[in-house]
Chains A and B, each alone.
Chain A
Amino acid sequence: MEAVSAAQIIFIVVALLTVATTFLVVTVRNLIHAALWLVATLFGIAVIFVLLDAGFMATVQIVLYIGAIAILIVFAVMLTRRVMQDVGPQSNENWWLGTIVAAVFFAAISTLLWSIRWPALPGAVVGDTVLALGRSLVDPNQYVIPFEVASVMLIIALIGSITLALPGKQSE
């Protein structure tokens, strides 16, 4: 058996912590605490990106997921919930249905992941990784179509939310 390298030890610890915090997200009773555990999970993923030498992805993960999405969740919870306490059941009568759906979905994804033969990496990107990433996003031979489609989708979402939030549109 090969010796475990330092990077692998770090990876294992971080992965375990990430899974543990994910578990906490759905089990803690306090909504704000749940949101904060979610932040911890997202941060764990960012660390994994760093371990993969994907510094750009790691910072983007933090800026977008922790700095924007999670803070909006916290924000929404603070705005809508009574200040400190959040009592009430954590699940409703359909919990078994949810469990089945989740289990099936998990099984499906696992099968998919196991069945794919992942291609070996052609080697680390040399030079400026950020530059290479930027080039590939606007290169017609690589990812320009998905990139543009995603942009258009985001614009649609943006316009949609503005339309929803416009005042004076309540009357049917």
Chain B
Amino acid sequence: MSEEERNVVAPEQVPVADSIVARFGNALRTDDRDGYEGYVVSVESLKDVATVLRDELGYDYLSSVTGVDYFDEGKIEVVYHAYQTSGGPALNFKVQVDRENPILPSLVSVYPGADFQEREIFDMYGVSFEGHPNLRRILMWDGFAGHPLRKDWQEAYFEEENKPFDSRWPGGDVKRSEAENRFGKNVSYPDEFDIDNWAPEDDSSLYAGLNKSGSNGKKLKTDSLVVNMGPQHPSTHGVFRMVVALDGETITDLQPVMGYLHRNHEKIGERNTFLQNMPYTDRLDYLSSMSNNLGYSLAVEKLMGVDVPERAEYLRVLMAELTRVSNHMWAIGFLLNDLGAFQTPALYAIRARELILDIFEATAGSRMMCNYMRFGGVARDLPDTLRDENTVDFIGDLVNERLPAAIDELDRFLTGNEIVRSRCIGVGVLPADKAIAYSTAGPLLRASGVPYDLRRAEPYSIYDRLDFEVCTRSNGDVYDRYVVRIDEMRESVKICQQVMREIPEEGEIFTGKPQYNVRVPKGESYGRVENPKGELGYYVVSKGKTNPYRYHVRAPSFINLTVLGEMCKGHKVADAVVILGSIDIVLGEVDR
């Protein structure tokens, strides 16, 4: 693809006022690498620049922080994407630091939402952030040697740098990677390892950081209790652990501990070809694989500069919105489960979801791991018949009749319920300023009264042509998050109705010729979509090869958890479970 074409689709460069550029002099310069955008900031002035951006230019929302290992240049680059909550494109600034001794100032004091993301960079790249309040590994365990996302780190079963690999059956001889592993088939241990006397490292460092002084200022000396909720716990929605310091039943501090499901998604992504990553994105937030596909497609399409045919755009939006409905159904049903309802609301909620999954199955071939979108379109068109009905009639019936009825039913049974109200109103309150500062996204942010929805703030696909409201509430408690989800489902259904009315009858669903190995031009790109759980972003760096050089996922579940401890303080243990449920996390996305 020519240089010209790419410039057409490259997102608008965000101009920073000249005066500010001048103020920082050499410390702030435009990133002039081929296919890159934004600014490069010097290490020393990073914090000042961030503060100015936040306070003077209104870039109050730090969407994503991530690292890239430029091995050949001996640099590690940390990339920040900041946005204005009033809408508009990203301001992207980077800082480069030496690979051997990477030390950076922490931005947690400017953007508290950088907390977990900086810890992740520390974990994955070994970059130390000075001034970070709690710089510990976050996804890998504490004793892990090395930093997995560095380019010179190779895992135990390492075969080759890039896929597709050579045949494992060269000349008919099977080559098994476990045969090359010193642990064999994982049943024997090295000689020096003594399983009987092995003691896991204790978590004293984790517990030491907890604030246990809930009873300060009282005459009575009380002992605080540290409870590990999880990783094996019925209401952490997966293998997630909350270390809770309790004074009686009141939470004085809460630390989320994650990484039990970590599979180094991003390293795998760097080894796969661009297209091979598509099914992997399904496994992030496995309840909304369609939207995950969409975000990744947008990021890569931005680099490739391909257009998506009209019908495919409509299909994408239809699928993404149906995903939102099914995800919110799930979220509400299981929020009620966390409130202690015995499965009944959950089963009522996911009854309608089955029909949505039927559509997915008939269209994409799979109910949950859809793998439906492609760069420049979608994989398949709608089938002719679905459940022995005309597909268009089936979907029309669903979005016009059955889904609104199902949503009304949930609304009728739950919204006014006395126990639901008394358990949810005023619980886990998150004020708007804090919600922005902590980079929360999705219903969590909107329930706090911030009308920030990417479909409106920075429209992608055909959302600028569709008529829908951004649902907000003002109190920022668990109840408002629930109501926002109900409202959002209604809006999604409205979008689906428009799509079914306006979708072109016939038409291409894919641009160009389908190919296994797409060539993606050099450059970086950040594609983000309004996922049901919040802003899902993909940061992709291409060096012009068939594999991405860097593939990063800005996971809404992960970043929304940053504020969990803050929201739970002062509430009861039972509330912690409900607050976690109201964030609506999926561990596949948190741990990646």
Contacts and interface: CB of A to CB of B under 8 A. Distances in A.
B154 to A, nearest CB: 45
Nearest to B217: A170
A78 to B, nearest CB: 12
Interface string A48-89: 000000000000000000000000000000001000000000
Interface string B223-238: 1000000000000000
A81 to B, nearest CB: 9
Interface string B189-224: 000000000000000000000000000001100010
A91 to B, nearest CB: 24
Contacts of A170: 218-219
A114 B16 CA distance: 102
Interface in A143-172: 170
A170 B217 CA distance: 10
Contacts of A80: 223
Contacts of B223: 80
Contacts, number: 3
Dominant secondary structure at the B interface: loop
Interface in B266-307: none
Nearest to A83: B225
B128 to A, nearest CB: 38
A169 to B, nearest CB: 10
Interface residues of B, number: 3
Contacts of B218: 170
A80 B223 CA distance: 8
A3 B219 CA distance: 63
B220 to A, nearest CB: 9
A3 B223 CA distance: 59
A128 B223 CA distance: 52
A161 to B, nearest CB: 15
A8 B219 CA distance: 54
A170 B221 CA distance: 13
A170 B218 CA distance: 8
A80 B225 CA distance: 11
Contacts of B219: 170
A83 B219 CA distance: 23
A57 to B, nearest CB: 37
A80 B222 CA distance: 8
A64 to B, nearest CB: 27
A129 to B, nearest CB: 45
A140 B219 CA distance: 47
Nearest to A169: B219
A53 B223 CA distance: 47
A154 to B, nearest CB: 25
A164 to B, nearest CB: 11
A73 to B, nearest CB: 19
B442 to A, nearest CB: 38
B143 to A, nearest CB: 28
Nearest to B218: A170
A125 to B, nearest CB: 49
B227 to A, nearest CB: 12
A80 B219 CA distance: 15
A54 to B, nearest CB: 41
A170 B215 CA distance: 13
Nearest to B248: A79
B256 to A, nearest CB: 25
Interface in A80-129: 80
A17 to B, nearest CB: 36
A170 B223 CA distance: 19
A77 to B, nearest CB: 13
Nearest to A167: B218
Nearest to A80: B223
Interface in A17-69: none
A1 B218 CA distance: 67
B244 to A, nearest CB: 17
A80 B248 CA distance: 11
A80 B220 CA distance: 12
A167 to B, nearest CB: 10
A8 B223 CA distance: 50
A130 B357 CA distance: 68
Nearest to A81: B223
B214 to A, nearest CB: 15
A93 B209 CA distance: 40
B581 to A, nearest CB: 29
B222 to A, nearest CB: 9
Nearest to B220: A170
Nearest to A82: B223
A170 B216 CA distance: 13
A170 B220 CA distance: 10
A80 B218 CA distance: 16
A170 B219 CA distance: 7
Interface string B168-208: 00000000000000000000000000000000000000000
A36 to B, nearest CB: 23
A171 B465 CA distance: 64
A163 to B, nearest CB: 15
Nearest to B225: A83
Nearest to B219: A170
A96 to B, nearest CB: 31
A169 B223 CA distance: 21
B482 to A, nearest CB: 32
A84 to B, nearest CB: 14
B245 to A, nearest CB: 16
B248 to A, nearest CB: 9
B249 to A, nearest CB: 12
A104 B219 CA distance: 38
A143 to B, nearest CB: 40
3 contacts: A80-B223, A170-B218, A170-B219
Interface of B: 218-219, 223
Q: Which 3 A-B pairs have the closest CB atoms?
A: A170-B219, A170-B218, A80-B223
